[in-house]
Amino acid sequence: MTHLPNLEYDEMFLDEHLKPTQRPPFLKDLSKEISTVCKQSSAKVQSFYVVDDTSLLNFNCETFSKYPALSSLLKFVNSKYQCSLNSCVVNCYNAGQSRKLPHADDESYIDQSQPICTFTIGVTREVLFYETSAAGVSPKLSLVQTLKPIEGSVYIMKPTFQAQYKHQVQPGVGHRMSVSFRKVVRAPIRQNEWPFSQMKGYRDINASNLLVQPELPDVPRVAPKLVLPEPPLIRRNSISLDPNRSRRSSFCAEDIDLLSKEECKDLIVKLQARINKIEIEEYKLGDEEVENLVRYEENPLDRAGIDPHELLPRVMKDISDITSECPKQGGISTHWILQDPSLTPFLVGKNISSYQGISDLLTHVRALDQNNECLNSCLLTSYPDGEAKSRLHADDELYICNDSPICNFSIGEQRTVKFFNSRLHSGPPLISIPMNSLSLVTMNPSCQQKLKHIVLPNPQAVGPRFCLSFRNVKPISKKTQDLQQDAEPPTTVLIGTSITKRINPAKIAGKTTCKFVNCSTSGDTIKDASDKLDRLYAGTLTDLNDQPLGPNLNIKNIILSVGTNDIRRKSNGVSSLYLPVRALMKKANDLFPDSQIFVQSVIPMGYEFRWTASNVMSFNSLLRRCSREIPNCSYLDVFDDFIHRGYPVKSLYYDHLHPSAKGTAALARSFIAIARGRNFNIKV
């Protein structure tokens, strides 16, 4: 074992800095600050950066101004060792934990002309130093020195040390903290230093090495057996066209050369058919289960002994008064009539006590079934003509109680309501109901979680149709209501690429009180979106007009539209993007826990490369999987809006990649449902 010339150990560092009586309270304050900082890391060995200037780094970090003990320690280090360090990495090691692999602190944003000084708190752990000249894989590194730093000591790795040696902290029986002071500079970050590596600590992580895809067997060039282009991580669609294979792999470049453009298209059609078949088998609902979810009654008032000729004129007078106050030209209109308008700040409506006809109808609906006794509000939907219709949706808004039924009473022209399995992307309707005037459809609890419904147009209708949907609206606490009243308007932030850059925020928000901000930039990747989340959290992110958003936004929704620029040239599949995508969603949820995160699917792209179509579908499956793993995260599926019978719709594009005016409008419809979503399902 040799003594390394560019490694120095100072055992009396803290004793020189403090008097004996000052040492215990200082260590207590320092430990508290380190624990506070490390709580922001989700890794087993918690690590986090604290810097003088947070703009130097492209990922989450803290500033020394919040932590006086760390700041004073930094000043003493700079004074004693005559250096100009400006940051530190704090680490927390619980019992038995250690850095698993030897590593060097040689990231591109660390100034290698300055030393790295590591201060130790807690129990002693062995630190092993390896020479990199004999480096192969970790077991082949040659151990050159062992150090056992005690509490209050510092070991200094001088300039050029990181290029020659690697180090590793061994497991131990007690709790240890360390503060590693270094100088960071503003520098471009290499791919293996993406901010997503914070999820595993601050050491380098190369996602492509962690997610190694199995190699394909040798395939003859004549009539090869095709393997579906799905990364092995995606378990849900793990099906191969080859019955001899149990899981699918991504194409390699050599195999892609075997496929023509037409073969790629045929492969996508086959893939979609197989996926649909799997989904139908997994999520199909039996007839008996559907009957328990939806119940139709032709004349409920007759069963209750109510004379409709006496009640109906009063109800129609109330409807006329409500719709005349808020007229709308064309399309459906909705109006809330609430038993207590103060129940929730998210809804603006009339007091039901002012409309005796609707109030009496609610009383009669309650009396039809004991499960209806909890109904306390009504959503009036007006269909002015036979062309008016509603989109496919589920009534599962946060302010509606999912344990209560929803009773829809119809007045006027006949309309057909169809119910579909909400967990399937396609398929025939499970039930179709021609709702006549004075009929009632009851959607029992759990119906909104399993079914979606749509009201179809009726070209033969000559008059209007009104639907009174009686629901149980949950109360919102006064504290939440006060916060909502004092806050800024609910804001939806779009972080995207050139695909979404043409979205007009003013048209999305419309005449509502909500706010929509478009922060899309051409060429942005997943890494750029992660950086924008940091700037959004700090209040320095700018919109399309270079106007800063500020720190006081009431962010209700965040839409992430990423991936197009990451997958275009990945000829070997997209499974290496799993870690960055998951880390991006987790960062969004961690920074904005009170916001709903929407991850938009990649739209179909023209066949720029032969692997393009397979990458799009594989990446969308990856997005869907990650959205299920992260709380408050939903998958926004717009793929089907741009495709017809397996081919992209040409009128929705102005080139092979970017949406045209019609394509942008197709995207905008989903964004409008999210930004303005009050009466319909926003979890698209």
**403-431: pLDDT as tens digits:** 899 999 999 999 999 998 877 656 788 88
Tokens of 645: 């019978």
Residue 372 in contact with residue 405, Cβ under 8 Å?
Answer: yes
- What pLDDT does residue 213 have? 33
Return left, alpha or beta for 546; rule: phi > 0 is left, psi -120 to 50 is alpha, else beta: left
Q: What is the 3-state secondary structure (H, E, C) of 372-391?
A: HHHCCEEEEEEECCCCCCCC
**What CA–CA distances, in Å, run from 468 to 327, 407, 441, 664?**
17, 8, 11, 34
Confidence of residue 2 (pLDDT cuts 50, 70, 90): low
Q: What is the 3-state secondary structure (H, E, C) of 273-318?
A: HHHHHHHHHHHCCCHHHHHHHEEEECCHHHHCCCCHHHHHHHHHHH
pLDDT, average across residues 545-551: 84
What does residue 119 show for φ and ψ, rounded to 5 degrees? Answer: -100, 140
| pLDDT at residue 650 is higher than 90 | no
Q: What is the largest CA-CA distance in the chain?
A: 102
- What pLDDT does residue 391 have? 84
**What is the pTM assigned to this prediction?**
0.39
- What pLDDT does residue 253 have? 37
Q: How far apart are the first and last CA of the chain?
A: 63
- What pLDDT does residue 157 have? 93
Confidence of residue 194 (pLDDT cuts 50, 70, 90): very low
Radius of gyration of the chain from its Cα atoms, rounded to whole angstroms:
31
Bigger pLDDT: 221 or 143? 143
| Whole-number Å distance between alpha carbons of 116 and 103 | 14
Cβ neighbours of residue 13 under 8 Å, at least 6 residues apart?
80, 119, 152, 153, 154
Bigger pLDDT: 678 or 3? 3
- What pLDDT does residue 330 have? 60
| pLDDT at residue 237 is higher than 60 | no
Number of residues in the chain: 684
| Whole-number Å distance between alpha carbons of 419 and 395 | 12
What does residue 312 show for φ and ψ, rounded to 5 degrees? Answer: -60, -45
Burial of 568 (0-12, 13-18, 19+ CB in 10 A): middle
537 alpha-carbon distance from chain centroid? 15
**What CA–CA distances, in Å, run from 376 to 46, 230, 261, 397?**
49, 48, 58, 16
Tokens of 630: 């992260």
What does residue 363 show for φ and ψ, rounded to 5 degrees? Answer: -65, -40
Q: Residue 454's beta-bridge partner residues? A: 418
| Whole-number Å distance between alpha carbons of 230 and 614 | 7
Closest Cα to residue 348, out of 389, 395, 399?
399
Looking at 501-632, list the stretches that DSSP marks H as alpha helix, in order from N- to C-terminal side: 505-509, 526-538, 564-567, 578-591, 612-629
645 alpha-carbon distance from chain centroid? 29
Residue with tokens 């109800």: 315
